[in-house]
């Protein structure tokens, strides 16, 4: 059974659409695949008063062995005038986010941990091949993100995102990208969920040489979620949302509250003359608090594209 802290670890990268982190672990090599299997994913058409828009459930991180631009996605992108995403970071914002995640002066994470926690962090670094001297200058949420990345790498997920692919295509097509959230908002969210308390709990639970073994459920879960996304299996997503809901201290800020705010933005976009497509993490669309249900409750007809 996944502990609350493990559920929180799963949640942050799979639900937050950008990775503000200096990664100290390798992301693995993309395999040579002649013909990539297509990831079906999740897409919806939204209609009301003779107007329409599209919704795309994305994955972050992803397995790069799949082809994400299906016929549905290509059709949607052709009809899209404006793409709405969680965040669209400039190079300057990304550099600032990484800089803000590093301690200044001689301060390190050791100033916030006890001797046993420091010992356990060194143990994890030794097991995973992370350089401790480079990790210790990172702030808690950056350290947790690096430890998450180790597990996602074992699940054959890279730090690439489908969101990023869609943004790149949109910009290459000389179309507009808007963001539903901001860098500052997501930074604060990650710091809240993956802050010092989360790191301390993870370190307190650690057994020497057992980080990968104890993370097996996270690895298997992440693989299963990616496979469910590739198959377009809504039940996998519904079950994932139920799992997150068992951890209310992260579910509310990371999913429920954000969905409400996203829908407010989406309704505003719907009134525009241009055709908008909203592409955010797939888990945001499922469950009673999901974007699909919230839109339906507001009188929109939301139809999944098969």
- Supply 233's token pair: 């299996």
Give the integer Cα–Cα distance in Å for 90 and 108. 28
**Whole-Å CA distances, 63 to 117, 224, 227:** 32, 11, 9
Domain around 279 = 4-28+37-304
Sequential pLDDT tens for the chain (306 residues): 445 555 555 555 566 655 555 567 655 545 555 689 999 999 999 999 999 999 999 998 899 999 999 999 999 999 999 999 999 988 888 888 888 889 999 999 999 999 999 999 999 999 999 999 999 999 999 999 889 889 988 999 888 899 999 999 999 999 999 999 998 898 888 888 888 998 999 999 999 999 999 888 888 989 999 999 999 999 999 999 998 898 888 899 999 999 999 999 999 999 999 999 999 999 999 999 999 999 999 999 999 998
Q: Is the dihedral of CA 19, 20, 25, 29 positive or negative?
A: positive
Q: What angle do CA 15, 264, 303 make, to 5 degrees?
A: 75
Number of domains composing the chain: 1
- Residue 60's φ and ψ, nearest 5 degrees, are -155, 120
**Which residue from 156, 224, 151, 198 is spatially nearest to 3, judged by alpha carbons?**
198
Torsion from C-alpha of 203, 207, 212, 213, nearest 10 degrees: -140
Q: Are the CB atoms for 199 and 140 separated by under 8 Å?
A: yes
pTM assigned to the model: 0.91
**Which residue from 154, 140, 182 is spatially nearest to 17, judged by alpha carbons?**
182
Give the integer Cα–Cα distance in Å for 275 and 140. 40
Chain-centroid distance of CA 249 in Å reads: 17
Give the integer Cα–Cα distance in Å for 97 and 252. 24
Give the integer Cα–Cα distance in Å for 218 and 224. 10
Chain-centroid distance of CA 234 in Å reads: 18
């Amino acid at each position: 059974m996944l502990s609350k802290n493990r559920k929180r670890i799963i949640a942050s990268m799979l639900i937050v659409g950008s990775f503000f982190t200096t990664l100290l672990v390798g992301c693995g090599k993309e395999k040579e695949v002649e013909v990539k299997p297509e990831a079906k994913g999740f897409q919806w058409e939204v209609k009301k008063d003779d107007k329409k828009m599209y919704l795309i459930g994305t994955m972050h991180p992803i397995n790069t062995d799949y082809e994400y631009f299906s016929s549905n996605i290509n059709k949607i992108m052709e009809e899209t005038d404006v793409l709405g995403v969680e965040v669209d970071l400039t190079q300057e914002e990304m550099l600032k986010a990484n800089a803000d995640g590093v301690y200044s002066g001689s301060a390190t994470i050791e100033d916030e941990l006890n001797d046993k926690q420091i010992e356990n962090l060194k143990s994890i670094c030794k097991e995973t091949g992370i350089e401790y001297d480079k990790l210790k200058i990172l702030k808690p949420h950056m350290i947790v993100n690096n430890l998450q990345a180790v597990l996602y790498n074992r699940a054959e997920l890279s730090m690439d995102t489908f969101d990023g692919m869609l943004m790149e295509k949109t910009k290459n097509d000389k179309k507009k990208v808007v963001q539903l959230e901001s860098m500052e908002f997501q930074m604060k969210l990650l710091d809240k969920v993956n802050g010092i308390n989360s790191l301390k709990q993870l370190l307190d639970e650690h057994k020497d040489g057992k980080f990968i073994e104890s993370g097996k459920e996270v690895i298997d879960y992440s693989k299963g979620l990616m496979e469910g996304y590739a198959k377009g299996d809504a039940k996998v997503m519904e079950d994932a949302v139920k799992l997150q809901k068992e951890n209310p201290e992260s579910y509310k800020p990371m999913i429920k509250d954000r969905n409400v705010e996203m829908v407010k933005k989406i309704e505003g976009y719907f009134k525009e003359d241009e055709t908008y497509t909203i592409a955010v993490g797939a888990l945001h669309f499922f469950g009673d608090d999901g974007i699909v249900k919230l839109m339906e409750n507001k009188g929109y007809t939301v139809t999944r594209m098969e």
